[in-house]
Every structure is written in structure tokens, then in C-alpha cells.
Amino acid sequence: MNYWKECLTCALDDENITLSDAQISSISEKLEDAHEGYAVYAGIEAATNGEKSDAELELEELKREIEKRTRWVNNTKPCDVCITTGIVKDSWGKDQTCGACEGAGRV
């Protein structure tokens, strides 16, 4: 027996409702169709069919940024002038951007 038809038959029995076999078949088919559409209605399909969640997108962005920074660190040397801070003191003792590394801290 069809799962949906059996569920509907049990529910109708519990409620003492009598329907014809044709009515039960028709309603059970509609229930099955409704169940198939539920994933779209609830957004489950969109969340699992290739579309990524905000958390997944954020994680990927963070991984890209970490990779980019790692490549930059591996391909540069620490700035000797500012000792990687990107800031040096001017002649009045105030902070200013290091001219040697332009504030990046590495060259």
C-alpha cells in the first residue's frame, strides 16, 4: 500500500470518517504533492541545493583573506625602519606612517 494512502486511511479511521477509495487515493496524492513542495516552501531546498549559507560564504571569505595574507607574508620581509608596525615617529615625536613600507609593516 502507498505510504500516503495508508497515513490518510489511519487518520480517517481515528476520526471515524468514511471516504471512498477514490477519494482517499485523490487526497493522498495531493498530500504527497504537498509534501514534495514543502522543501521549497520552507527554504530547505534553497539551503541545500548548491546555494551556500551566509556562514559558509563568510567562512570562504575568511579563508581567502587568510590565504592572501599568508602569501603576502611569505613574499615580503619585515620592514626594518618601523619594525613591522607601519608607524614611525616624526621629528616632533608624533606617529606617522612609515615611508619605507607605506604603513604595511612589510616590504
Q: Which helix or strand (DSSP H or E) is residue 88 part of?
A: strand 87-89
Orientation angle between helical segments 3-14 and 21-42, nearest 10 degrees: 110
Q: Which is nearer to Zn ion, 39 or 100 (CB)?
A: 100
Min CB(60)–Zn ion separation in Å: 31
For position 100 contacting Zn ion by CB under 5 A, the verdict is: yes
Of the residues 4, 24, 28, 98, which one makes contact with Zn ion according to CB under 5 A: 98
Site for Zn ion in 65-84 (CB under 5 A): 79, 81-82
Amino acid at 23: Q
Task: State whether the Cα torsion 69-71-74-76 is positive or negative.
Answer: negative
24 binds Zn ion (CB under 5 A): no
State yes or no: residue 106 binds Zn ion (CB under 5 A): no
Dihedrals φ, ψ of 98, to 5°? -65, 125
Is 4 or 86 the residue whose CB approaches Zn ion more closely? Answer: 86
The H or E element spanning position 24 is: helix 21-42
Can you give the binding site for Zn ion, defined by CB under 5 A?
79, 81-82, 98, 100-101
